[in-house]
Amino acid sequence: KAESEAIESTNTHDNDNKHHNTDKQPSNPSKSFDNWIGWHNDSGFLTALAGDLYVDDATGTALPPSHIDPRAGLYVTDRSGESIKVSIPEDCMAVQIGECLQILTGGAVAATPHCVRGPRPGWNDDGVKVARISFPCFVDAKPTFPLTMPEGCGRENVLESGVGRDKVPPLEERWTENGMTFGNFLQTSFEKYY
């Protein structure tokens, strides 16, 4: 597997601008890996994502890396099913594949399951509540756009190309027919996720 400064492996297993603070963590965050934003695939085509900005929730002041739990942040599932922490450098953007592109390419590319993990309780004792700000840019289609796989492609090619099927609602339960419109797919996905 290729490694770079932007992606670092770990041993453990976003839709508008996101601002998350530790007050929204579940009662026992150590039991929930994805305690800020749960595991999901982006439903659209592509998502461009700048690096995270961590701030003091009370003041909005940017925090230095020493105040940030090194295990907090964005995680993706790689093609082998392993969860990997992604750190996007300040001068870079990451691009994630969405489920629409997975369908339109007949599974040649697969959507990227991802989640956001908050800081571990008690990681930093200085009393600062950490908030995360991210800025994703989603490339989607008009609601009437038909999600049609390539001619000669089987539905199984699209469905079996995905990874992290144990982390997200199965695509076959949301993309119920070839040619389903993006709007209907999005509505069905929201119903399955929420």
Query: What's the pLDDT tens digit per position in 119-148?
Result: 888 777 777 888 999 889 999 999 999 999
d(Cα 53, Cα 134) in Å, to the nearest integer? 6
Interatomic CA distance for residues 70 and 138, integer angstroms: 27
pLDDT tens track for 174-187: 999 999 999 999 99
**Over the stretch 36-67, which tens digit does the pLDDT of each residue have?**
899 999 999 999 999 889 999 999 999 998 88
The answer on pLDDT for 111 being more than 70 is yes
CB-CB contact of 188 with 176 (8 Å)? yes
pTM greater than 0.85 (yes/no): no
Looking at every residue in the chain, the average pLDDT score rounds to 82
Q: Which of 153, 144, 152, 143 is nearest to 102 (CA)?
A: 153
